[in-house]
Structure 1
Amino acid sequence: MTTTPPVGSNTQGINDALKSGSASASELQNNFLTMLVTQMNNQDPLNPMDNAQLTSQLAQISTVSGMQTMNATLSQLLGQVSASRAMDSAALIGRTVMVPGKQVAVEGGVPGKIGVDLPSTADAVTVDVLDKDGNVVRTIDMKGQTAGVHNIAWDGKNNAGVAVADGDYTFKVTATANGTSVQPVALVYGKVESISGDASGVLVDLGDGQTANVDDVRRIL
């Protein structure tokens, strides 16, 4: 008498195919049931399939099939949520926002607005403004600050009180509490020109190739 391999021996292959997306859940479920019927028709009468084994195998294919269906549904929901967030974020176009960054430009002797986000209270906060060569041109002592978003007051002058040349600068913030860094986040202001999206989520375009995730917006003016 011809015998067929137990369905359980093929379940792993079916599960792998489902997870890889190489076949639909309904197709593999039909194949599974076909193999199950064939096995039952050709089983050894002296060693029939155990009911518990049959139940277990049916539960496996049902569970994996259900997971694929659920994943597809969740993907659709996430897509709808993402599209909805993009539409809501469109209201930011034309608004000035504060996002993570370390670039600051000086034009006409006036520097761009900058800030810092402190995750927790710091007893010492220091800001260093650097030129294009990495030299410190200005050090700003903000002393102690509470947790939250704070503007950094820079008048566009160096440590000698002389106005710096127009151009691009960078800045870094050091903030500590009892000698330990509180992990400050340097912030810059920018005007939102458009809204876009990628795998990371909804993005705000601030011009000059600068983008930021909408979730990273700290302040809106």
Structure 2
Amino acid sequence: MSLPVNNDSSNSSINDTLKKNSASAKDIQSDFLKMLVTQMNNQDPLNPMDNSQLTSQLAQISTVNGLENVNETLNALLAQTAATRAMDSASLIGRSVMVPGSKVAVADGVAARIAVDIPSTADAVQVQVLDKNGSVVRTIDMKGQTAGVHDIEWDGKNDQGGTVPDGEYAFKVTGTADGKDVGPVALVSGKVRGISGDSTGVLVNLEDGTSANVDDVRRIS
């Protein structure tokens, strides 16, 4: 003779199984059905399973299965979207782009192209070029500027009018409107030599060895 099974403890076991995040919907379904059959076969005739409890448990297992299917579908769509974006971004290979950065090289007395992205109209924009020691060698007053991407005209000279030595320099941009920072973004130019990706999304790989997210590309030429 089979021993009666306590319905409350069985229900608790089923609910505990449903709550295990590590279990897949298929595993949960299998465990659920095994416990349900065991419970029905061994239930106390004087205290049979409540139909409302059975309905609730069936609804839970259906919800878990449905959520996993939705998750799998979303992951597939995201993967497909990422692949499409990577293919579309491949058209940037060989093109010059403007991306966020703060380094500017000078070669043969000529400075590389730099620019600034101004989120909103600024009544004052200033650029400072610094040498490797952090000393300011050139200050460029761009005055007021509207929102958008603007080239920074640096002729490779210092504030005294002399040509700076070849090498790498840093630059920073400040912009204000009514005395408040508008958050300008310094931009550098680079030629795209390839496309790759990581957890942040699709990346453009530049000839200088740096990379930038394709969403950060401000200008293409």
TM-score in terms of structure 1 length:
0.92
What is the aligned partner in structure 1 of residue 16 from structure 2? 12
Unaligned runs of 5+ in 2: none
Moved more, 89-98 or 172-181: 172-181
Aligned counterparts, 1:1-221, within 5 A: 1-3=3-5, 5-16=9-20, 19-20=21-22, 23-221=23-221
Q: Distance in 2 between matches of 1:150 and 1:26?
A: 57
Stretches (4+) displaced over 6 A? none
1:106: how far off?
A: 0.4
Q: Per-residue displacement from partner, 1:134-153 (whole Å, max 9, x unpaired)? A: 11111111111111111111
1:132: how far off?
A: 0.7
Q: Judge conservation of contact 1:126–1:140 (CA < 8 Å) in 2.
A: yes
Matched residue type, 1:153: E
Q: Distance in 1 between matches of 2:47 and 2:161?
A: 95
The CA RMSD over aligned residues, in Å, is: 1.5
Matched residue type, 2:177: A
Q: Distance in 1 between matches of 2:192 and 2:61?
A: 49
1:24: how far off?
A: 3.2
Q: Distance in 1 between matches of 2:161 and 2:53?
A: 83
1:44: how far off?
A: 2.4
Q: Judge conservation of contact 2:116–2:152 (CA < 8 Å) in 1.
A: yes
Q: Judge conservation of contact 2:17–2:28 (CA < 8 Å) in 1.
A: no
Q: Percent identity, please.
A: 66
Moved more, 36-45 or 126-135: 36-45
Q: Judge conservation of contact 1:99–1:217 (CA < 8 Å) in 2.
A: yes
Q: Distance in 2 between matches of 1:172 and 1:52?
A: 68
Moved more, 129-138 or 69-78: 69-78
Unaligned runs of 5+ in 1: none
Matched residue type, 2:129: V
Q: Judge conservation of contact 1:173–1:184 (CA < 8 Å) in 2.
A: yes
Q: SS at 2:170's partner residue?
A: strand
1:14: how far off?
A: 3.3
1:37: how far off?
A: 2.0
Q: Judge conservation of contact 2:18–2:60 (CA < 8 Å) in 1.
A: no
Q: Judge conservation of contact 2:190–2:208 (CA < 8 Å) in 1.
A: no
